[in-house]
Each structure stands twice: as C-alpha cells, then as structure tokens.
C-alpha cells in the first residue's frame, strides 16, 4: 500500500509517497527539516540551496562513519551478530534518509533558476552526491555479501568447535579407562610379587 503525506520542510510543502508508514515519512521529513534549520540558524547567510547541500553532506558524513563502524565489525575474528544486525538496520535507515535528501535537492533545483551564478556549483555538488550515492549502493551490496560469508564462516567454526569438544570428551573417557586399567594392572603386579615373596620365604 502506497502512503501519501504532505510535509513541510523549511516552510515549503512537499508531497511524499512511499510504502512506508505515514509516521515514518513524517519522521524523515522532520529529520531533514531539523537539519536544514540547524544549518540556517548557525549561519543565516546560507540560502536554500547551500543549506540543502550541507544537509546532504551531513547525512553522507554519518553514512561514511557508519560504514567505517561496519568495516571494523567485518574485520573482527567473530562478528557480533546482534551488533551487525543493528548496524545494517541503521545503515538502511540512513540510506533511505540519503535518498530523501537527494530527491529534495533535485526538487529544489527547479526552484532556484534565479541563482545563476551558483547554478554550476550546485550542479557539480549534485553530481558528486549522485556519484557517492551510486558508490554507496555498490559498497552496501558488497557488504551484504561479505556479511553472509562471515555468518557462514561463523556457523562452520561453531560446528568444528562442537566436533572438537565431542572428540576431546571421547579421548578423556578413553584416558580415564586407561588409567583405571593401569591401576588394576599395578595392583595385580603388586599382589603377584607379594605372593612370589611368600613362596620364597616358605
């Protein structure tokens, strides 16, 4: 089911459509609106274009940091499954936010025709964001494959560990039986020696 909501971002109404819940669509819009207002309040000289680009860069920065965090998890000998799942969910959420920001930037471009002197700079920024977006998609797909491989390795390691434990348990049982047999043999030998000694004394 496709949901359709009307949201306000920096005072401008936009129509968002998606299969996600209305609450989710509103939360994405509120996130972008908050980021833009934070940038505008920190520097009133920013216009709609620059604030939108800076918002996109902020979200991209968060995505890069999260990617580094996931890379550290991947390089670990044993990947914490729960943390990895949480990181994947956070990455997907940021990816959706990133797509929303890119879409908003594309919409804003048509309304900024009067900013002729900054049009080229804005277009170059959009192209860089698109290139980063495509690169992130490739990296995300590669990361999913790597995660699947690591999970398979973990399962194999668990199976090998179980087999090793079972083998050690069997060896311990055999060792215990050998020790018991050794004690019995020593006792029999002692009894035999005592018997021989008694015979010689008679």
Q: Give the chain as a DSSP string.
A: --EEEEEEETTEEEEEEESS-HHHHHHHHHHHHHHHHHHHHH-TT--HHHHHHHHHHHHHHHHHHHHHHHHHHHHSSS--HHHHHHHHHHHHHHHHHHHHHHHHHHHHHHT-TT--TTHHHHHHHHHHHHHHHHHHHHHHHHHHHHHHHHHHHHHHHHHHHHHHHHHHHHHHHHHHHHHHHHHHHHHHHHHHHHHHHHHHH-
Determine the pLDDT at residue 39.
83
Q: Is residue 175 part of a domain?
A: no
> 114 is in which domain, residue-wise?
47-164
Q: What is the mean pLDDT of residues 58-69?
A: 84
Tell me the pLDDT band of 135, cut-offs 50, 70 and 90: very high
Give pLDDT tens digits for 139-153. Answer: 999 999 999 999 999
Mean pLDDT rounded to a whole number for the chain? 83
Q: Is the pTM of this model over 0.75?
A: no
What pLDDT is recorded for position 188?
A: 82
Has residue 32 been placed in a domain? no
* Res 70: pLDDT: 80
Q: Give the CATH number, domain containing residue 137.
A: 1.10.132
Would 193 be classed as within a structural domain? no
159 domain residue, yes or no: yes
Number of domains into which the chain is organized: 1
User: Would you say residue 99 lies in a domain?
Assistant: yes
Tell me whether residue 30 is in a domain: no
Domain membership flag for residue 58 = yes
- Between the ranges 45-54, 70-79, 117-126, 175-184, where is the mean pLDDT highest? 175-184
């Amino acid at each position: 089911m496709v949901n359709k909501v009307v949201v306000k971002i920096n005072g401008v109404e936009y129509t968002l459509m998606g299969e996600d819940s209305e609450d989710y669509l509103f939360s994405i819009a509120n996130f972008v609106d908050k980021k833009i207002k934070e940038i505008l309040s920190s520097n009133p000289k920013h216009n709609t274009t620059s604030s939108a680009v800076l918002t996109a860069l902020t979200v991209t920065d968060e995505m890069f940091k999260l990617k580094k965090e996931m890379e550290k998890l991947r390089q670990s000998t044993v990947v914490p499954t729960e943390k990895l799942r949480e990181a994947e969910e956070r990455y997907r959420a940021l990816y959706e936010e990133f797509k929303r920001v890119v879409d908003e930037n594309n919409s804003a471009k048509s309304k900024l025709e009067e900013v002729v002197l900054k049009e080229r700079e804005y277009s170059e920024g959009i192209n860089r964001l698109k290139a980063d977006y495509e690169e992130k998609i490739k990296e995300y797909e590669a990361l999913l494959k790597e995660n699947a491989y690591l999970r398979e390795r973990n399962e194999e390691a668990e199976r090998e560990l179980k087999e090793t434990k079972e083998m050690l348990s069997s060896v311990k049982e055999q060792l215990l039986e050998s020790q018991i047999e050794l004690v019995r043999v020593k006792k029999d030998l002692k009894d035999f020696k005592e018997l021989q000694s008694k015979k010689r004394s008679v």
